[in-house]
Amino acid sequence: MWQTVLDRVLRGFITRGTLRVTFPDGTARTYGDATKPEAHITLHDPALMARLVHSPEMAFGEGYMDGTLTVDEGGLEGAMRIAIRCAASGSLPLLQQIQDWAGYLLRPILQRNSVRSARRNVAHHYDLSDDFYRLMLDPDMQYSCAYFQQPWMTLEQAQAAKKAHIARKLCLEPGMRVLDIGCGWGGLALTLARDHGVHVTGLTLSRNQHRTATARVQQAGLTDRIDVRLMDYRQMQDQFDRIVSVGMLEHVGAPQLRTYFDRVAALLKPDGVALIHSIGRNGPPTGQSPWLNKYIFPGGYVPSLEEIVRPVARTGLWFLDVESLRLHYALTLRAWRDRFETNLDQVRAMYDDRFIRMWRFYLTACILVFEERDQTVFQLQLGHRRDAAPLTRDYLYQPDQDMRDAAE
């Protein structure tokens, strides 16, 4: 029965590309419009068919992780690209539409992200082994979208360019006090303190990141300029000349967006500048991927620009500049996935095959939503005063110096 139902669902859903499916009984059928991309998946467990009907996205991800769904010709990226293109075309199965809508309506519950639950959510993802992340990231351990000013840039060069771009938008002067909300492993704080002579207070909820960032600060001899704290941004009470937050807003959750920007406004001095770098949606608000929420980023949410504008407007802060780094994150993620696959033997020594398939699925899905759907990266430059930043964008672009820095 479930094979018949799934066949009907796939005939309605796969309208673009070519997907060949081999069912558990050995029957094979082809769906789509006979165009590229092409992919072939095999279902090994009869129970998976019912799950694919009831919860397609979750069942596909879990089936791949568990090995009850395997991908042959076309690879995982080909199969996922077909599914994502078809979903974008509006042919999403009714049950998936209902689940997406329910997830959207339940955001106040699913993403409430209290101080306690926020710590737990962060630990789920960021307290994996630092050695694992070192296999995938650049040496500075930048785990956010790089800035590819030129297509020939390496990941290391693009991450250095990202930090330089952010530093220019912060309009730094020596001696300024900077708050880094979600400082990660401390790479940006180290760069700002070392290269711009500012004092940085970094906040993280990850014990691993706090330990590593603190050690890096000590090794760099910058303990007089950088203070890394294991603290929630909602607990900070001081004021700062500059605030930077890179890749943290996605972990706040929709119900906390107003609180987040209220705190940014309260912590920023009257003549200060804040730079918020975050994944965002170029379209209307929607629910979050249930698979990503369960396995990768519990409590996470990618806000639309519409959802960001409203709470910022309530604070009275000015949008001094808004930039969309569209395909930069797809390039970044491809570099991470390449390194992950290159170092697979070392990853396998740390984690089992299910973890490896889970991580591969995560990286591939994220690449494709930036290439095929409405996700981008926003950089929001904010200030209490309309003249807190220069009146034109000329100061942001120094191509000769940037190219020299990238080549070093």
Residue 111 lies in a domain: no
pTM: 0.92
| Sheet with 69-71, side-by-side order of all strands | 28-32, 18-22, 38-43, 69-71
Task: Answer yes or no: is 152 within a domain.
Answer: yes
Q: Could you tell me if 18 and 154 lie in one domain?
A: no
Q: How far apart are CA 278 and CA 144, in angstroms?
A: 9
Query: Tell me: the pLDDT tens digits for 55-106?
Result: 899 999 999 999 999 998 779 999 999 999 998 876 666 666 666 666 666 6
Q: Does residue 104 fall inside a structural domain?
A: no
Q: Which domain holds residue 243?
A: 117-396
Residue 10 lies in a domain: yes
Residues 22 and 152 in one domain: no
Model pLDDT for residues 2-32, shown as the tens digit of each residue: 999 999 999 999 999 999 999 999 999 999 9
Which of 247-251, 273-277, 404-408 is most confident? 273-277
Q: What is the mean pLDDT of residues 26-44?
A: 95
Asked if residue 110 is part of any domain, the answer here is: no
- DSSP secondary structure letters along 141-160: ---S----SSTT--HHHHHH
Pairing assessment for the beta strands 240-246 and 226-230 based on DSSP bridges: unpaired
Please say if 183 is a catalytic residue.
Answer: no
Q: Determine how β-strand 69-71 pairs with β-strand 38-43.
A: antiparallel
Question: d(Cα 194, Cα 390) in Å, to the nearest integer?
Answer: 24
207/196 Cα distance (integer angstroms)? 27
Together in a domain, 26 and 149: no
Residues 139 and 28 in one domain: no
The single residue of 86, 171, 183, 366 carrying the catalytic annotation is 366
Same domain, 236 and 330: yes
Q: Are residues 316 and 248 in the same domain?
A: yes
What is the CATH number for 34? 3.30.1050
User: What tens digit of pLDDT does each residue of 325-344 get?
Assistant: 999 999 999 999 999 999 99
